[in-house]
A and B are shown apart, each in its own frame.
Chain A
Amino acid sequence: MNAPELSSEEIRRYGRHLIMPEVGMDGQKKLKAASVLLIGAGGLGSPLGLYLAAAGVGRIGIVDFDVVDYSNLQRQIIHSTKDVGRPKLASAKERIEGLNPFVKVETYEMHLNSGNALELFSKYDVVVDGTDNFPTRYLVNDACVLTGKPNVYGSIFRFEGQASVFATKDGPCYRCLYPEPPPPGLVPSCAEGGVLGILPGIIGTIQANETVKLIIGRGEPLIGRLLLFDAMKMKFRELKLRRNPDCPVCGEHRTITGLIDYEAFCGVQPGWDAYAREQQYEISVDDLKKRLDNKEDLFILDVREPQEYQICNLNGYLIPLRDLPKRINELDTAKEIIVHCKVGGRSRQAVEFMKQAGFRKIKNLVGGIDEWAERIDPAMPRY
């Protein structure tokens, strides 16, 4: 592509770039000619959108389908309080255009899926992954490999972050690092596990930095390296990543040559062992505490005996295990039900029984009320 000229206004705006030899007029023109697709306008997408726009990336595409929620404002700084209830795309576009009117913002209000990803990715130079779930991570990775676009990766959990650059010509891809996703439920999402609000700011700006370096072709990009960040310890670590010759999507004998069904790939599969299937039916006392503190609508089912209930309880609905078959119609399949007993054995049996009865939104409290008394509420009597 022919490098576009910069107007005198743009020269004034980008002056601090232009006087650096590493960027200069050539680099700034490359930025203006470049296009970047952001997957998600949330925690990572916020600093990405703002810094890439400020840096002068010519065309920024954003894929999102969510609306701004009050609880997003703790970290998603591209949105303002007045934007609550608006589509994230609308507020992100407005904010970017306010920051830099020389940027063309293209918005895609849709779920990225196997049917639309390849065509969309082919219109951009770099794809930046700011998603919050495994199906979309694998979809973004595979679509980047298949279209030959670099995937600037960032991921966050509580106070830890990861970043890397995947799917460059000779570098590894996300599947080289993790061939398969963990079973659902093992790794909680930020909605469940929480996230330090500043963390996406740090990881997102690292992604923005790597994106700009890829575009101007300077520096040492984060290819073949996984950067780990711990906000509590304020430590960065770096691990070596290698291209896996057996990688199913970028390896020598690739088996994935088109996009697949990523929900199924990341879901619970029949071939998985009991462990994987159990994951979605379990909850730890810590997670239960958090969800109760968040005032989530959970139905607690206590399957112990009445005399045990008298000693201590979680205000649950009492149906002793042996009575469950004849009283199961007292329970609502639509509600999320947390089942517990003393240490987790009887409640596991109850969950098995309820699964067969058609219940799906049920979780066994691992360790039972005894674990709760030990870890969460030391004042609770134990027996």
Chain B
Amino acid sequence: MIPTPLRQFTNNSDSVSVEGQSVGQALNNLCSLHAPLRRHLYADDGKLRSFVNVYVNDEDIRYLQKEATAISDKDVVSIIPSIAGGLE
């Protein structure tokens, strides 16, 4: 699942199907398909940016095996960025 602010990099798709045995592989494949996404998700040192949270189904990968978290066909990987709006 691709969040609204990043959809400009995925031809406005809200979800993209990618292969991968782990979360890291799936994200990597996603970035290969949509190259400009990479620097929005990863810092220069190759780590996921701290304002980008990644979930497998309803669980935060920080509390699983992070990017090594294994996934199968049925799992939904969601990128959940922070949003600020409310007042204006």
Contact = CB atoms under 8 A, between A and B. Distances in A.
A40 B59 CA distance: 31
Contact of A189 (B3, B59, B88): B88
Interface stretch (A4-12, A175-183, A302-310): A175-183
Contacts of B51: 178, 180-182, 186
B5 to A, nearest CB: 5
Contacts of A142: none
B87 interface: yes
A181 B4 CA distance: 17
Interface stretch (A49-57, A130-138, A349-357): A130-138
Interface string A64-95: 10100000100000000000000000000000
B80 A239 contact: yes
A284 B8 contact: yes
Contact of A42 (B58, B81, B86): B86
A40 B85 CA distance: 11
B14 to A, nearest CB: 8
A190 B8 contact: no
A76 B64 CA distance: 40
A129 B43 contact: no
Contacts of A169: none
Interface stretch (A16-24, A103-111, A150-158, A321-329): A150-158
A38 B39 CA distance: 36
Nearest to B62: A244
B87 A239 contact: no
Nearest to A179: B50
A41 B88 CA distance: 9
A273 B49 CA distance: 11
Contact of B85 (A157, A182, A244): A157
Nearest to A188: B5
Interface in A310-344: none
Contact of A132 (B8, B63, B81, B86): B86
Contacts of A237: 58, 78
B60 interface: yes
A131 B60 contact: no
B84 A137 contact: yes
A43 B88 contact: yes
A273 B44 contact: yes
Contacts of B50: 178-180
Contacts of B4: 157-160, 193
Contact of B84 (A41, A133, A228, A284): A133
B85 A275 contact: no
B40 interface: yes
A113 interface: no
Interface in B12-36: none
25 contacts: A40-B86, A43-B85, A43-B88, A66-B87, A130-B87, A133-B84, A155-B82, A155-B84, A155-B86, A156-B86, A157-B83, A162-B83, A181-B51, A187-B83, A189-B84, A189-B85, A190-B85, A190-B86, A193-B85, A195-B85, A200-B86, A226-B80, A238-B58, A239-B78, A240-B58
Q: Which 3 A-B pairs have the closest CB atoms?
A: A42-B87, A132-B87, A40-B87
Given A44-B86, A130-B87, A157-B83, 17 more contacts: A131-B87, A133-B84, A137-B84, A155-B83, A157-B5, A160-B3, A160-B4, A178-B50, A182-B49, A187-B81, A189-B84, A189-B85, A195-B85, A228-B80, A237-B58, A240-B60, A275-B40
